[in-house]
Amino acid sequence: SQELEQSPQSLIVQEGKNLTINCTSSKTLYGLYWYKQKYGEGLIFLMMLQKGGEEKSHEKITAKLDEKKQQSSLHITASQPSHAGIYLCGALHNNAGNMLTFGGGTRLMVKP
Amino acid sequence: DTAVSQTPKYLVTQMGNDKSIKCEQNLGHDTMYWYKQDSKKFLKIMFSYNNKELIINETVPNRFSPKSPDKAHLNLHINSLELGDSAVYFCASSQDVARTKNTEAFFGQGTRLTVV
């Protein structure tokens, strides 16, 4: 099994709806990153969480870290077609460097 | 200004060839990385390199080798390319965590390698 599991694997929502993507680690988290990848393009950094209970927002995207559950959730409010893409969580499983372990990604489509 | 740039963006080559992908970062970062994204979109670390040490993911075949002419560059050289090497390769960089609390990793745009 993967060290970092994302769910759901894919998601289709109507424009304007809220949605949540989850990322669960099987190992201790020293940091959790969220990236967005537009289809066929590079990775865009969204935010990084390090402390349990930490919550950060970037425009209409909010991410939280539950250190005890070794889990992070990414919530998009009032989704728009521009939110479409692949959302990837990356985990730091040690505090010695920045080698991230990535989840399998969540493919988000937003229907206008 | 592109922070992390990779070239080429697309690379189509025949099996058995040797190829290189170049990566440059203008962020003054200490550490650079190569990741491979397979057809299922799984991103896996291949190498981490700074001026002190090279850390290699043990699953990476030794046909793959990183080459760093200086701190701002980490090129990926691949010998005897195989069909299974087809993937998107991402370069990334970050500041050494021992020196700063900013641990954000910046990624390049990716290089789509197709081996035929």
Residue partners of B43: CB distance under 8 A and separation at least 6: A88, A90, A100, A102, A105, B35, B36, B37, B90
* Inter-chain touch A97–B97, beta carbons under 8 Å: yes
| Chain centroid to CA A12 | 16
Residues of chain A neighbouring B110 (CB-CB closer than 8 A):
41-43
Greater pLDDT, A102 or A66: A66
User: What residues of B are in contact with residue A89 (Cβ under 8 Å)?
Assistant: none
Calculate the dihedral angle through the C-alpha atoms of A27, A31, A34, A40, rounding to the nearest 10 degrees.
Answer: -70
Tell me the average pLDDT across A72-93.
Answer: 92
Beta strand B19-25 with B75-78: parallel, antiparallel or unpaired? antiparallel
Q: What is the pLDDT of residue A23?
A: 96
pLDDT digits (tens, 9 = 90+) for B60-95: 999 999 998 888 999 999 999 999 999 989 998 887
**Mutation target vs A (from B43, B56, B60; most A CBs, 10 A cutoff):** B43
- For residue A100 the two structure tokens come to 């991230």
- Which residues are within 8 A (CB) of A101 and not within 5 positions of it... i.e. 6 or more apart? A3, A4, A90, A91, A93, B45
- The pLDDT of residue A97 is 56
What is the rounded distance in angstroms from the CA atom of residue B93 to the CA atom of residue A100?
12
Residue A67: per-residue pLDDT: 85
Eight-class DSSP state of A81: G
Report how far Cα A79 is from the mean position of its chain's Cα atoms: 15
| Cis amide prior to A8 (ω within 30 degrees) | yes
